Amino acid sequence: MEEKIELNVFLNKLVSSFAKKFEKLEKDIKGLKSDIENFKQSKDKNSLKEIEDKLRKLEISVNSIKNKSQIDKSILKLIESEEQERKSEEYGRRF
The chain-wide mean pLDDT, for the chain, equals 77
Q: Per-residue pLDDT tens for 31-76?
A: 888 888 887 788 777 777 888 888 888 888 877 777 776 666 777 7
pLDDT of res. 95? 62
Confidence of residue 28 (pLDDT cuts 50, 70, 90): confident
Q: In whole angstroms, what is the distance from residue 18 CA to residue 11 CA?
A: 11
Report how many domains make up the chain. 1
Is residue 39 within 8 Å of residue 50, measured between CB atoms?
Answer: no
Q: What is the pTM of this model?
A: 0.49
Q: Which domain holds residue 46?
A: 2-94
Q: Is residue 82 predicted with pLDDT exceeding 80? A: no
Is residue 58 within 8 Å of residue 28, measured between CB atoms?
Answer: yes
pLDDT of res. 19? 77
The DSSP secondary-structure symbol of 1 reads -
Alpha helices in the chain (DSSP H): 2-42, 45-94
Is residue 57 within 8 Å of residue 66, measured between CB atoms?
Answer: no
Is residue 70 within 8 Å of residue 18, measured between CB atoms?
Answer: no
